[in-house]
Copies of this chain bind each other. A is one copy, B any other.
Amino acid sequence: MAKIPSTAVFSTKHFLALSLALNVSFILRMLYEGEQGHNMSCIKNETDFDTKTHSNIIKSRVVMSSSTSSLANSTCTDGKARSNRIINLDHGNPTVYGKYWRQSGDKTNIIIRGWQSMSYFTDVSNICWFLEPEFANEVMRLHRVVGNAVTGGRYVVVGTGSSQLYLAALYALSSSHAAQPINVVCAAPYYSSYPTMTDYLKSGLYKWGGDAETYEKDGPYIELVTSPNNPDGHVRTSKVNRSEGLLIHDLAYYWPQYTPMTSPADNDLSLFTLSKITGHAGTRIGWALVKDKEVAKKMTKFIELNSIGVSKDSQLRAAKILSAVSDSCEQENSQEGDSFFKFSQKLMTNRWKQLREVVNRGELFSLPQFSPAFCNFFNQVLEPQPAFVWLKCEGNVEDCESFLREHKILTRSGRHFGVSPKYVRISMLDTDENFSHFIDRLSSI
């Protein structure tokens, strides 16, 4: 070892410190990349969701072990592993937004102290007595910033995701004195979970009534209007359109990254969910905007009987996230970079562009066509770019799900959405890596 004079500007100790610092930085970098790899690369530890049947979970489990074991025998760049890998796009887990939140740094962290938010109650003077005011304020603010819903004269009811709110709405709109359960209908293709969620408890209050397009029974009914629609992305209005209809508007996807904001929704009962806006599905937070006081009360009662309120921790976290989204919109064009919606809109534009290019290259598949519309949020004419692809197998392929499964792409058959198996629903919200695999695989078919 060369001798370094002790009087030199940089002593051995200095170099040792520098070297140690470099070591630490390398170790940290390795750890960070390891973590990223674990979350976002070869091992698919976050799959995609939508309630349907128990087989989905089993299927995911098979996929998980399959992709994990393939990893054990190969590296990410191994071409064979890449082509053998099962790509699960059945569920709609919005993992794509993770990278935005990683970039956002510490400002979206939340600290909850051991003694905070311990009570069942938040504000007993509010109809929704478990609603955190911070969360309610951020919901109202975001709707104002985006312009996608009228909030004046509405009650906010918070739920454990919009699923719980959907059930709460069925309970609130049905009558416990009715001789028969009220029919719940939705135009096909409809969200695959609606029929099961409606009927799994064999309720005497409501029951699944099938496709709204062919619904002709007299008397009261509940119609679900999902707009933009899951699975096909089209903007919708009521189909049955009779005076005795009670409407639930599921507006999970009525946000700027998915569809042009043409006007603020002005409905009796609209449902929203954090999952599809920001990607925070694990937080299980949704909300309803409700015009009628008695309906808001009954929805609250449902949640009281179902789970005695909604996690305060998650409401506080959701408030922080929604606040960051609104901030990013209000600070657009400052040095903060793209707003959340600009970021996600660009991302969806890019994915849909890649997808259309691949699909249009051949004649095997077709995609839905959308009319562009003026988006009040982005101040320009834009085309919808839904969270799901509603893909049709053309020609002789009758069962599109099976056909794609042969090519190791897991999708959800049109059958589950009340239509032909020539259609499948495919998530567009998975990780960059999975989406890129999907595009490669599709172009190779």
In the assembled complex, the CB of A59 is this many whole angstroms from the nearest CB of chain B, namely: 9
Q: How far is the CB of A199 from chain B (nearest CB, A)?
A: 10
Copies in the complex: 2
Q: Is A187 an interface residue (CB 8 A)?
A: no
**Of the residues B51, B65, B201, B309, contact of A284 by C-beta under 8 Å:** B309
List residues 107-152 of chain A with CB under 8 A from any CB of chain B. 107-115, 117-125, 129
Given contacts A113-B108, A203-B204, A313-B317, contact A305 B51 (CB under 8 A): yes
* Interface stretch (choices A157-165, A217-225, A413-421): A157-165
Interface assignment of A301: CB less than 8 Å from any CB of chain B: yes
Identify which of B45, B110, B203, B312 contacts A201 (C-beta below 8 A).
B203
Complex Cα distance A122/B176, Å?
38
Smallest CB-CB separation from A201: which chain B residue? Answer: B203
| A311 beta carbon closer than 8 Å to chain B | yes
Residues of the B chain whose Cβ atoms lie less than 8 Å from the Cβ of A163: 305-308
The count of residues in chain A whose C-beta lies closer than 8 Å to any C-beta of chain B is 86
Whether A279 is near chain B, meaning CB under 8 Å from some CB there, is yes
Which of A98-106, A243-251, A356-364 binds B? Answer: A98-106
Assembled-state Cα–Cα distance A111/B111 (Å) = 4
Which residues of A, 68-119, contact B by the 8 Å Cβ criterion?
Answer: 91, 93-95, 97-98, 101-102, 104-115, 117-119
Residue contact A120 to B98, C-beta cutoff 8 Å = no
Tell me the minimal C-beta distance from A415 to chain B in angstroms: 19
Residues of B within 8 A of A200 (CB): 171, 302, 305
Contacts of A159 in B (CB 8 A): 307
Residues 284-307 of A at the B interface (beta carbon under 8 Å):
284-285, 297, 301-302, 304-307
Give the contacts of A161-189 with B (CB-CB under 8 A).
161, 163-164, 167, 171, 176
